[in-house]
Each structure stands twice: as C-alpha cells, then as structure tokens.
Structure 1
Amino acid sequence: MTKTGIRRLLLLSGTTALASFGAAGTANAQAAAGTTLAGTQITNKANASYTVNGTAATAESNIASFVVDRKVNLSVVGEPNINTQVNLGQTNAVLTFRVTNNTNSIQDMSLRANQNLGAGGTGVDNYDVNNVRVFVDSNGNGQYDANVDVGTYIDELGIDQSAIVFIVADVPSNVPTANFATVSLNATVAAGGGVNVEGAALIPATDLNLLTQNADLDVVFADNDSDGLLGADAARNGQARAYLEYEVGARAVNLTVSKSSMVISDGVNLINPRSIPGAVVQYCLTVTNSTLLTPASGINLTDVIPANTTYEPNSITVGGLGAGNTCVLNGFPVNDDGTQVLLSPYGGSYNAGTKTVTAIIPTLLGGTAVQASFRVRIN
C-alpha cells in the first residue's frame, strides 16, 4: 500500500494520533546564577504516538539543536564611589574600582584610564594628574601594592566574578587654585581562554546566514550606557566606564608659633636663678596646628639669637612636651651641623654666620602641637 493510501485509511477509520514534544536538552553547563554558558549546545526532538487498526505505533523526529550565544555584559563602579583626597605634589595617588563580568562566559577585560571624558565627576574638572597608570589587584587585598600589583589587564575573569582595579597617578604641584581631576576607568570585554595572554576585544555578530546561525557561537552586546547620555560610554558597545576624582583638599591650616624663655642657671643662685651676665636661658618655641584632620608638612622654624647673647652649642631639641608656652620635657637632640641624630624623626641646625637656629618638623597633625628649644648664654 502507498503512503497516500495509508493516510487515507487512517482518516477513513477515524484513527487519532497524539504528538508529544519534549526538551531532552544537553544544556547541563550552567553558571552559578543559573545562566547558561556560551557555547552550550541545546538539543530537542519530538515524538508522536498513534494507532492503526488498534495497533499502537510511534514516530520520532530528527534532533534539532542550537548553540547558546555569548551575551556580553559588564559593569565598572568606584570602590568606594567617593573622591580621593590628595595633596599637591603627591605621588602614586590611588583610585579604586571594581570590574564585574556579567557575560555568560569567562572573559578577559582590557583596561584604560582617561581624563576629561564625559560628565561623570561630582566637581568641576579643572586640572589633570600626571603619570597615569592602571593596575589589577593581584593578591585580592583591595590595596595597591607597588611592584606587586603589576598586571594591566584582567585575565580570565569568571562568570559573575569581579576584580579590583587601581588607577595610580601623580598630583602636580603647580595647580594652586585647582581642586578636581576627574579620571575614568574604561573596561572592554576581550576574548578569554588564553591564560596570561590578553585577548582581543570582542566583535558583535554580523552573521546573517539564517540557515547556519543555530550552529554558530555569536557575540551579542547587551551592556547598558554606563554613564548616561553625556558620558563617553554607549549602550551595546561591549564596554563600561566609571568616574572618580582626585580632590585637592585644604590648602592652608591655622598654624601658630609662640615663644617663651626661662633662665636655667646663673652660676650664683641654685634656686630661682636670675637673668644676669653668664646665665643660661632656654627659649621654647611651640608650633600648634589647630586645623583638625589636616596635617601641615615640611615645617621649618627659624630663630636668630638675640643681641648680647651667645648660642650654647648642641642645645637644640625638637619634639618636646610643654605646658602652655613652656618646655617641661626636652625633645630629640639635633646636631648643630644639620646631620641626622640616630632615631630622631626631626632635624635642624645652627648657622654661626647668621646666628640662626633652625628646627625641622616633617609633619604636624591637625589638632596637635610640638615644642622646639635651644639655649643661649647672656654676655
């Protein structure tokens, strides 16, 4: 009997046929969040059951399959998303970002820092930093470690995994009125699969062959415009960008200097010595930084010894404690010739030609005071 005859017999006999469709897939490779991995092959076939004159039979379709394409997505955010306070002339100032791979496959991430792009900053961008570099956190401690964090791209970043990235730059010292330098980190999704080899930037699919597209692993960009209409990023370009700022903070502190004197000895009176010729007098200089949270650096105190006195050699001390303007506990001794005294954090010198005493305080924290002292003998 011909096939046409069989079909006619089925119709005439009132026989019914039921078709069932089931997804017997092989998509068993899933990301942690349930996202199917790019390159996974999903297969499917249909089954039909029917009867002919009371005899049950089945028929099975061919297997239909397709490959899951790569859905490219990523994000870049500040970590934390706040300005970094810097000082003029500061070197290796750090901005910290977090880059996350939201693509359904392991990817490399190419990294680039830019200045003066977009409107992502919070302040008016009015100066540029120098020597801008990008490094990846290699040991996962979230802190930039010079000569340790040396990678310049993210290698083999897993699905839904993130990496910390640092922008490191030097703040110029010749921008006395500038406050904000806006810098952005731009991340581009690149090909993964080669350990310790930076992959090329991905290119979205352009395959229009509908007959074979189910077997192809295509690239589809699905990322959003990460910085809005006024920024440098765009939707579906395989990139993401975030902005942070170097902010120059306070440029001045309320620094005051007070001076007092006290007769140490006069060669006559053991108690309550007097300021008579031959007496030794100690001068106490108190430097106070009353601006909280803002340190003052590179403080140089200078004092010319008064007429009718002679400087007492090697009598300079810095870092002492005092009560009011009076030194009650001398600090670290300072060499008259300017050489460093062992273990002393301070410096200083005495210039016999100009009769000038100098005391050097490297840093004075906000809300603190430090005393310096020296002695003279009344002629």
Structure 2
Amino acid sequence: MFAKRLVPALLAGTAGLCAATGAQAASQTTAGTVINNTASVTYTVNGTSQSTSSTTASFVVDRKVNFTVATDQTGLTQVNLGEQNAVTRFKVTNLTNDVQDFILDPDQQNISVGILPGTDNFDMLNLKAYVDSNNNGVYDPGVDTATYIDELAPDASVTVFLVGNVPTTPSALLAFDSLHVIVAAGGTAGTKGSALVATDLNLANADNTVDIVFADDDSDGTLYLGDIARNGQGRAYSGYEIGTHNVSLTVAKSALVLSDGVNILNPKALPGATVEYCLRVNNATLTTAATSVNLTDAIPAKTTYVPGSISIGTPGVLGIACVVSGSAEDDDTDDAAETDGFTASFDTSSKTVSAHIDTVGGGATVAVAFKVTID
C-alpha cells in the first residue's frame, strides 16, 4: 500500500488547481543560451572621428523549471470487481525553457472527504504508471510500456495512465489515486534523468553557469499536503469507483410434457409421462457479467428424476426445446474433466438437481434442462 495523504480538493477542479501562472515555455529563451552584449563608442580627436568597442558582457540563460500535472478525465473511472488493467488518465505539460525528463510516481490516497463524497475503502492491485507512447489517448497494453517521460519538449504535453487491477473484495466501493511527478534532467534520449536539484538561491547569479530555478505552482492548493510551490514536483488526483455490485439476474422456470405413453400429439401429464423442466437464466445488465451462478432445484413429490437428463447451454424456443446447443451433464459431482464452464449433478438422497454456470454474460441467457417422470 502506498503512503496515504489527506487531499481536500474537488476532482472536477483538479485541472484548474494544476494550471500554471507563468509564461508559456514556447516563447522562452532556451536554458543554456549564451547572450552576449558589446557597446560601441565614437569620439573625436583633433577633428578626427574615432571609434572603439567595449568589452563583451556575457551570461547564459538559466533553467526556469515549470510544469503542470492535471487529471485528464471527467469523474472517476467506473470499474467492476476483478477487472484487470483499469485506467485513470492524467496529462503532464512541460513549461520549462528546455527539454526535460519526468519521473512518475503512482500513489494511492486514503481520502474520506474532498475529492468526491464517500470513503476510499480499497487499494488497486499492482498500480503502475505508463506513458502514452503513440499519443492516441488510450492505454494499449504491450505498447504503452514506458514508465517515465523521456525528453518532453518545451510547451509539449503527454498523457500518462495509472493502470491497476481491481480486487474482488465484495465490499469495495471507491479507490482514490494520484500521479506524483518529479522533474528530472533531460538531454539523453532513452535514459531516465536524475531528479533536478534547485540552485541555492542564496548564491549570486553565476554568468557562466546554468542555474536551476523551480518556478512550479502548488498543484493542489496551498492548504493541502500533496504538494508545495517551487519544489519541482506536481500532483493530480483521480480514482476508481465500483459501478455495479449486482446485476438484473432472473430465472424463469417452465415445464413441458414430452411424452405420456398414450398420445403421440399433444401429450398430457399422465402417470408415467416424461416432463422436461427448463430454467432460463437471464442477465439483463448489458455491461456486467454474473459469475459463479449456482442453481439448485429439488424435484417435486410424485416425480422421479430421469438419470443423465441434465443439459446446459443455449436456450431454444419455449414450448419446443429448452437447450438447442450445449452439453449433456453427468449426474455425479466429479467435475474434474469439465472444460465448458458448465457442471451439474443429482443428489439421490435429497432428490435435488444442482447446476453451476461459470459466467452469464451481460445481456446473455443460459438454459438448464432436466427431466422427470410422473409417478
């Protein structure tokens, strides 16, 4: 778990809090530029004009370190329990008068008030920061692999993703995170520079030395603990919200007389007749799957289970076929060889049919059928 800090800043206003007040870097003279100045003098001696030049005064332009870190999304990222590679998005802009590297530090915040109503009550797993390498604004696993910002030009911006895995903890509701950014030395592509150290401001300006002066703002407000002004660091905040804890799962059960031993057409529910029970499990929530769905059904009195009659799969048309594409299930509980995500059994002592469905996807329906005979 990362260090926790109180951050009473509204998420919707984070970008505003991160806005810099300094001039844009594109209009600034590059650090290290040598500026020379020489004065010209003319004068007259015995009626003859003369001229000379002064000595040259030179100095180099110092490095004015400034940048912003801002949340680059609206609201929290909506996620599901167990979701992998869930993303919050940030933007880093270099307002320094030179090319810079930036060190990225993903952090998690235990915040009860401030960013959004509610309480941070879980941590993301394996939270990491990655740079948007192809500038498409979408996290691409295997493509966006850089863990620091390399050679960001003055006035240029880049997207950074915080990526983590959502735990399966049923009580999980909110997780707040932040991107902590530290300015680093640039100049060597493909190599992460060391964190910059500001020149001691008690020292006089050295004309032949590029001094480092931090000019960055307090990114989250002067009263808060996440950042302070002129420290070469910045921070912005976002988070994850479990959007769905339940789905609209319904089970419809019907019975169809298959044969009665007397009538070929329109069989009746006579003693000795075979009846197929059909359970249609429907998940009406389009965006979220239901997993580990277990059904139990005690067969009614005056009926006898037909051995080996359980099947699970794609539902057919009601009144014609319960399962049209699926698998026949055995009656025992030894399911080691099952690979289709469906298992079932019949308990002879309790006269109960049990069925297990690994996943009922969003908007999907799975049918379970079994047969009995009427005593």
TM-score (norm 2): 0.79
- 1:137 and 1:200, CA in 2 relative to 1: closer, same or farther beyond 3 A? closer
Whole-Å Cα distance in 1 between the matches of residues 338 and 170 of structure 2? 36
- 1:302 and 1:175, CA in 2 relative to 1: closer, same or farther beyond 3 A? closer
Are residues 1:158 and 2:132 paired?
Answer: no
In structure 2, what is the equivalent of residue 168 of structure 1? 163
Give the letter for the 2:280 counterpart: T
Map 1:128-277 to 2 at 5 A.
128-137=122-131, 139-140=133-134, 141-146=136-141, 149-174=144-169, 176=171, 178-206=172-200, 208-210=202-204, 213-228=206-221, 229-277=223-271
1:313 to 279, 299, 308: 308
Are residues 1:64 and 2:61 paired?
Answer: no
2:360 to 351, 358, 363: 363
Cα offset, 1:45, TM superposition:
1.6
Other structure's SS at 2:207 match: helix
2:36 to 40, 43, 46: 43
Other structure's SS at 1:217 match: coil
Other structure's SS at 1:271 match: coil
Aligned identity (percent) is 42
Other structure's SS at 1:284 match: strand
Higher relative contact order, structure no. (Cα contacts within 8 Å, ≥ 6 residues apart): 2
Whole-Å Cα distance in 1 between the matches of residues 263 and 218 of structure 2? 84
Give the letter for the 2:361 counterpart: L
In structure 1, what is the equivalent of residue 345 of structure 2? 350
Other structure's SS at 1:127 match: coil
Are residues 1:76 and 2:72 paired?
Answer: no
1:105 to 90, 94, 98: 98
Whole-Å Cα distance in 2 between the matches of residues 306 and 40 of structure 1? 90
2:282 and 2:360 in contact (8 A); partners too: no
Q: Any gaps of 5 or more consecutive residues in structure 2?
A: 1-23
Whole-Å Cα distance in 1 between the matches of residues 170 and 281 of structure 2? 27
1:334 and 1:341 in contact (8 A); partners too: no
For structure 1, which segment, 139-148 or 70-79, has the greater mean C-alpha deviation from structure 2 after superposition? 139-148
Other structure's SS at 2:27 match: coil
Are residues 1:287 and 2:281 paired?
Answer: yes
1:338 and 1:350 in contact (8 A); partners too: no
Whole-Å Cα distance in 2 between the matches of residues 209 and 310 of structure 1? 93
Whole-Å Cα distance in 1 between the matches of residues 367 and 320 of structure 2? 9
- 1:168 and 1:147, CA in 2 relative to 1: closer, same or farther beyond 3 A? same
- 1:220 and 1:282, CA in 2 relative to 1: closer, same or farther beyond 3 A? same
Higher radius of gyration, 1 or 2: 1
Whole-Å Cα distance in 1 between the matches of residues 249 and 38 of structure 2? 83
Q: Any gaps of 5 or more consecutive residues in structure 1?
A: 1-30
TM-score (norm 1): 0.78
1:375 to 368, 371, 375: 371
- 1:59 and 1:195, CA in 2 relative to 1: closer, same or farther beyond 3 A? same
Whole-Å Cα distance in 2 between the matches of residues 376 and 32 of structure 1? 79
Are residues 1:87 and 2:80 paired?
Answer: yes
Give the letter for the 1:275 counterpart: A
Please give the root-mean-square deviation of Cα atoms over the aligned residues, in Å: 3.1
- Render the CA deviation track for 1:87-138: whole Å, top value 9, x for unaligned: 3344443322222222222222111122226776223333131434323236
Whole-Å Cα distance in 2 between the matches of residues 332 and 341 of structure 1? 13
Other structure's SS at 1:33 match: helix
In structure 1, what is the equivalent of residue 324 of structure 2? 330
Give the letter for the 1:166 counterpart: F
- 1:311 and 1:115, CA in 2 relative to 1: closer, same or farther beyond 3 A? same
Other structure's SS at 2:101 match: strand
2:91 and 2:159 in contact (8 A); partners too: yes
Whole-Å Cα distance in 2 between the matches of residues 326 and 36 of structure 1? 80
Other structure's SS at 1:122 match: coil
| Aligned residue-pair number | 343
- 1:327 and 1:75, CA in 2 relative to 1: closer, same or farther beyond 3 A? farther
Cα offset, 1:53, TM superposition:
5.5
1:316 and 1:375 in contact (8 A); partners too: no
